[in-house]
Structure 1
Amino acid sequence: MLIYSTVFSLYLYFCVLLMSQQKQNVDIYSFYINSTVTSRYATTVITSRVANTLNESQGIQFEVKIPKNAFISKFRMTIEGKTYDGVVKEKEEAQQQYNQAVSRGQSAGLVKSVGRTLEDFKTSVTVAAFSKVTFELTYEELLKRRLGKYELLINAQPMQPVADFKMDVHIQEKPGISFLEVKGDLSTGDLTNAIKITRADKDAWVTFYPTRDQQTTCRSCGENGLNGDLLITYDVERQNPQGEVVVSNGYFVHYFAPSDVSRIPKNVVFIIDRSGSMHGKKIDQTRLALLRILSDLDEDDHFGLITFDSEVSLWKRELLKATETNLENAKSFVKEIRDRGATDINAAVLAGVDMISRHPREGTASILILLTDGDPTSGETNIDKIMANIKEAIGTKFPLYCLGFGYDVNFDFLTKMSLENGGVARRIYEDSDADLQLQGFYDEVAVPLLSDIQLKYPGGTKLTKTSFSLYFNGSEIVVSGQITDNSVESFTTEVIKSSNVTYKDTIMTKDPRDVPPENEDFMQRLWAYLTVKQLLERQVLLKEQEKEDEKKEALKLSLKYQFVTPLTSMVVTKPQEGEVEVADKPKEGEEPSRHQGKN
């Protein structure tokens, strides 16, 4: 038995891992990855066909890695003409089957988080002598735009050359595709000849069909076949400042990413943990990232630096303009930051709020960025009290972004504190590129374009989130919902921002060119995916009945659309002796090494 726990951009990674002693006895004779992206919504199907070449039965293993932001929506095994489908059930019900299987002495395992962006799905099945098995896994994800592009990452590591190996990607975008690039290890050397890119007005196709020889002779290949990644990045045309609206079968999605507005000067305060636990590489990388970030500030920006342990230290008591002199002085200060002491998060963040509040500037956007690697251990240490203090002090005036360094940080606390104050939390992984992770996050919020955005849809209902504190260059606001009258001929969208500038657009709802027939249900699934994501995210902010009501709604949608989410599990009954597997979604922040499980 197996428990499996399940970002624009789409990260797609797969791996078929076979035990070394099986390599000569198992033939992966076909492996297909088919990814269809329609209006940013990606549906990926991985199909592996494997033969047992022994004259006796043996276990055959299937392992794939999928993006953390994806929901598995289908898994099936076909053996000797019979298909075994996974069924998504409420987590508690699936857990009962898990416990029963364990009590019968059946094997149990865990599907685990893998690194920053991936989760590992693994299963095995006993296959009779000279028989075959087909594994098929489907998952879905709404691609998120970051720094002006979407990404599709495909990592191929099948552990043996495959005679029939194909990757097919079809991207369809209504406004047209502005650029598309293919990079990565699998696009170098002789493998370049295995890649074909075809472009049309609104479509792009990328195929990767390497021969057996190519699978063993590329730069990162060997006797075990392919081992590397293919990275597809793209963006869409943005000629309409009102955004892009797609309508299908009574559902709509509105993508809003205006390019006709000027940047807003920003006020940014960096609140840096210098407690003893930041010793060594963490503090070194933090200093390096801050030096780069300071170099990227524009002259009409204002900034502040706060460091803290059990005490709070302000570089300057007020925000300073990002002049060349001020930036050089700030860099000298950053170079001298040293780790010491405990962690007073409450006092540090309140100091940051006070610094911005005391120096309001008309026509600017203010941002607080907290970087910490631990729990509050000094001053006010009650997490609920800290969150109440900070929420009262900020009062919806500007967002707080929390960067959690490493696995020991209380990421749930940072997530809730960020969401309560209009921001997001991001984990910074303790790797050699942690400084680049820090800078990468800053780059995403470096250029605010709009503030206090409200989106209205007079003919819409069951809407996803419609209020946003800031819109940053290179990102995208996405709203989906149902249309109240599916027979209407037009649908109106309205975007209002704080400077009283309004974007208004009316589109025809009966445009048959919007969606090809084979993708007619994608809009409804996109709406369900985004709704479930946001309902689950809001759980940390709600209390009592409201929390329970939204949890029930998220569960209902997860079951209806067969999504494996934190509220559901996929149950697979295997042919041998009715053995049961249960696939769950792991909690963010769990270290990969903690989920090694067995089959």
Structure 2
Amino acid sequence: MLICIKAKMIQGFPKNIVFHINSTVTSRYATTVITSRVANRMDESKEIEFHVQIPKNAFISKFRMFIDGQVYDGVVKAKEQAQQQYTEAVSRGESAGLVSSVGRTLEEFKTSVTVAAHKKVTFELTYEELMKRTHGKYELQIHAQPTQPVSDFKVIEAGISFINVKGGLSTNALANAITKTHADKQAWVYFYPTVDQQKMCDSCGDQGMNGDLVIVYDVNRDNGLGHIKKSDGYFVHHFAPSDLPRIPKNVVFVIDQSGSMEGRKIEQTRTALIHILNDLAEDDHFGLITFDGIISYWKRELVQANRKNLESAKNFARNIQDRGSTDINEAVLQGARMLNAHNREGSASILILLTDGDPTSGVTNLEKIQSNVRQAIAGKFPLYCLGFGFDVDFNFLEKMSLQNNGVARRIYEDSDADLQLKGFYEEVATPLLTDVTMIYVGGTNLTQTNFSQYYNGSEIVVAGEITDNNIETFTPQVVAISSNRRIIFSKPNETMESTGTVSDDRIQRVWAYLTVKQLLDKDKAEMKKEALELSLRYSFVTPLTSMVVTKPPGENTDVLHKPKEGETPQRRHFTGGY
């Protein structure tokens, strides 16, 4: 898969001579290079800022500045080394550092440099991310800001099944600037807004465009073993079968109704819960638990999602009121008890916790709660934690989810919070396989290979090394449970797709990216050490590393840290090179 996004000079923007975005996607792995060439047309030196927003799940891997024939490269260092540099700067009476801000889906990168009169500077930022398939599609998000117009989107996709464009820059007048063509093996999206059009989108003005373009696409796929691509002794395997019977699910919703949920949060939770109940199938079983300092049950056991039970459950949901303290420990344990007491044969069990606060009653020690929950679930089903708002201890929820084969998701307190809740539920609404084991005879250094469940519209991605780069002895296979039967996916007589004779390190970078992400999820010192080593080897800016942005002598030097979820944005500088 190759996606090329290019931009040309657009008249009417005197500062930005060039703003290019080139994004190449191979095996659903996007490498995006943003290039901005800016001129100082004044008769005196001027500070010029480079400011872009990139996807939160991306790792910055390179930053360069070209000034007067000189190249200034950012360098990725261990966070401790960057901290030492910061400390030394502070001891000299200077300040240091640059921290990206956190939004729903984007992070900021900012730096600036002084440019002499009538001179130019070129900024070049590279970031990488693995595309995630959700609801049967991938979304490549490009953000264009004031005085940074983007044009000429060209998309080439091997076996693309559909492509669309959405986002604020695809509406109203700008919709006429988009042209799409689609053939069997290729698709293109061209975006050529005129100067006038660039001032007419919902969030545009005299400074030009300010908004998102999102390329939405999916690829043609078989319903067997999936797509495996190899290069230079590495492979990446995308597994997403869809021609499978739906598995009935057993789901328990554990809803925080403590005092901090008052007002809009509890209203949105009620609305979302009623929508979700409407989507349950008749062969599903479900339960509802609400909690503050006291645990409240709609029913003490799971019941079938028939019309009578659903109406009763919706009445229960409409009457959920905020009150009291927060006993997360007992609430989650009771949800696990209900699922453990229900016969799971031929079905998929799911536990979903929604909370906005820290535990304040019952067991309040976070590590003890995590230990209790891990023992109660015992690897039998996933726990999904939805953290409402920024007051919640998201790190605690994330760790508890990861320990129990689930994920944590932050629900933002916006007008569409109920749609965010419903959207998350839809991701896990249709289980197709359970107990998925990815097997690679002749493979080594594999990323995660065991998955408790696979859901319709999603995708399982595994990467690794091929032992001795020997394709002849490399045999991939997937074993899983579909309803009540064991099913095996394999292609014993078919060869994998190669990237060709030219050396291509992108498959290796997919492996490195996935490995680092998964190592960072595990709270063990030796795994953090390995994640740091890989981050430095592949120049990824991760929570363990920082990028020192070098500038000309006498200029401020910036340090870029990847922020944690919910971190407050801040910007500091220190003077001098390194």
| Both structures adopt the same fold (TM-score exceeding 0.5) | yes
Q: Distance in 1 between matches of 2:501 and 2:456?
A: 31
Q: 1:230 aligns with which of 202, 213, 218?
A: 213
Give the conservation status (yes or no) of the 8 Å contact 1:492–1:506. Answer: yes
Partner of 1:192: 175
Q: Does 1:479 align with 2:462?
A: yes
Q: Distance in 2 between matches of 1:236 and 1:477?
A: 15
Give the conservation status (yes or no) of the 8 Å contact 2:100–2:561. Answer: no
Q: Distance in 1 between matches of 2:171 and 2:367?
A: 52
Partner of 2:576: none
Q: Secondary structure at the match of 2:89?
A: helix
Q: Does 1:400 align with 2:383?
A: yes
Q: Distance in 2 between matches of 1:236 and 1:48?
A: 31
Give the conservation status (yes or no) of the 8 Å contact 1:269–1:368. Answer: yes
Partner of 1:527: 511
CA shift in 2, pair 1:32/1:507, >3 Å: farther
Partner of 1:85: 73
CA offset digits 1:34-90 (Å, max 9, x no partner): 111112000001001101111111110111111111000110011111110111111
Q: Secondary structure at the match of 1:254?
A: strand
Partner of 2:189: 206
TM-score scaled by length of structure 2: 0.93
CA offset digits 1:562-581 (Å, max 9, x no partner): 11111111112210415322
Q: Please tell me the residue identity of whatever aligns with 2:490.
A: K
Q: Secondary structure at the match of 1:282?
A: helix
Q: Does 1:286 align with 2:269?
A: yes
Q: 1:376-395 alignment to 2 at 5 Å?
A: 376-395=359-378
Q: Does 1:426 align with 2:412?
A: no
Structure 1 ranges of 4+ moved more than 6 A: none
Q: Does 1:583 align with 2:567?
A: no
Partner of 2:539: 562
Q: Distance in 1 between matches of 2:414 and 2:432?
A: 32
Deviation at 1:589, TM superposition (A): 2.4
CA shift in 2, pair 1:92/1:317, >3 Å: same
Q: Please tell me the residue identity of whatever aligns with 2:570.
A: Q
CA offset digits 1:99-133 (Å, max 9, x no partner): 22333344545333232111111000010011110
Q: Secondary structure at the match of 2:554?
A: helix
Q: Secondary structure at the match of 1:60?
A: strand
Q: Distance in 2 between matches of 1:575 and 1:101?
A: 17
Q: Distance in 2 between matches of 1:217 and 1:25?
A: 15
Moved more, 245-254 or 355-364: 355-364
Q: 1:432-443 alignment to 2 at 5 Å?
A: 432-443=415-426
Give the conservation status (yes or no) of the 8 Å contact 1:101–1:579. Answer: no
Deviation at 1:272, TM superposition (A): 0.5
Q: Distance in 2 between matches of 1:390 and 1:42?
A: 37
Q: Does 1:250 align with 2:224?
A: no
Deviation at 1:92, TM superposition (A): 0.9
Give the conservation status (yes or no) of the 8 Å contact 1:241–1:259. Answer: no
CA shift in 2, pair 1:172/1:489, >3 Å: farther
CA offset digits 1:510-563 (Å, max 9, x no partner): 755x4584x811101111111111111112xxxxxxx22222211111111111
Q: Does 1:316 align with 2:293?
A: no
Q: Please tell me the residue identity of whatever aligns with 2:38.
A: V
Q: 1:129-278 alignment to 2 at 5 Å?
A: 129-157=117-145, 159-160=146-147, 165-173=150-158, 176-278=159-261
Deviation at 1:219, TM superposition (A): 4.8
Give the conservation status (yes or no) of the 8 Å contact 2:102–2:569. Answer: no
CA offset digits 1:297-354 (Å, max 9, x no partner): 0000011010111100110111111111111111011100000000111111111111
CA shift in 2, pair 1:442/1:552, >3 Å: same
Moved more, 577-586 or 305-314: 577-586
CA shift in 2, pair 1:548/1:314, >3 Å: same
Give the conservation status (yes or no) of the 8 Å contact 1:216–1:225. Answer: yes
Partner of 1:505: 491
Q: 1:37-52 alignment to 2 at 5 Å?
A: 37-52=25-40
Give the conservation status (yes or no) of the 8 Å contact 2:229–2:496. Answer: no
Deviation at 1:155, TM superposition (A): 2.4
Q: Please tell me the residue identity of whatever aligns with 2:558.
A: E
Moved more, 274-283 or 181-190: 181-190
Give the conservation status (yes or no) of the 8 Å contact 1:302–1:320. Answer: yes
Give the conservation status (yes or no) of the 8 Å contact 1:491–1:509. Answer: no
Q: Distance in 2 between matches of 1:58 and 1:495?
A: 59
CA shift in 2, pair 1:192/1:507, >3 Å: farther
Identity %: 64
Which structure 2 residue ranges, 5 or more long, are not aligned? 574-578
Q: Distance in 2 between matches of 1:106 and 1:281?
A: 44
Aligned-pair Cα RMSD in Å: 2.2
CA shift in 2, pair 1:338/1:516, >3 Å: farther
Partner of 1:18: none
CA shift in 2, pair 1:95/1:361, >3 Å: closer
TM-score scaled by length of structure 1: 0.90
Q: 1:573 aligns with which of 542, 547, 550?
A: 550
CA shift in 2, pair 1:25/1:462, >3 Å: closer
Moved more, 479-488 or 68-77: 479-488
Q: Distance in 1 between matches of 2:496 and 2:358?
A: 54
Give the total of aligned pairs. Answer: 562
Q: Distance in 2 between matches of 1:429 and 1:533?
A: 23
Deviation at 1:161, TM superposition (A): 7.0
Give the conservation status (yes or no) of the 8 Å contact 1:491–1:506. Answer: no
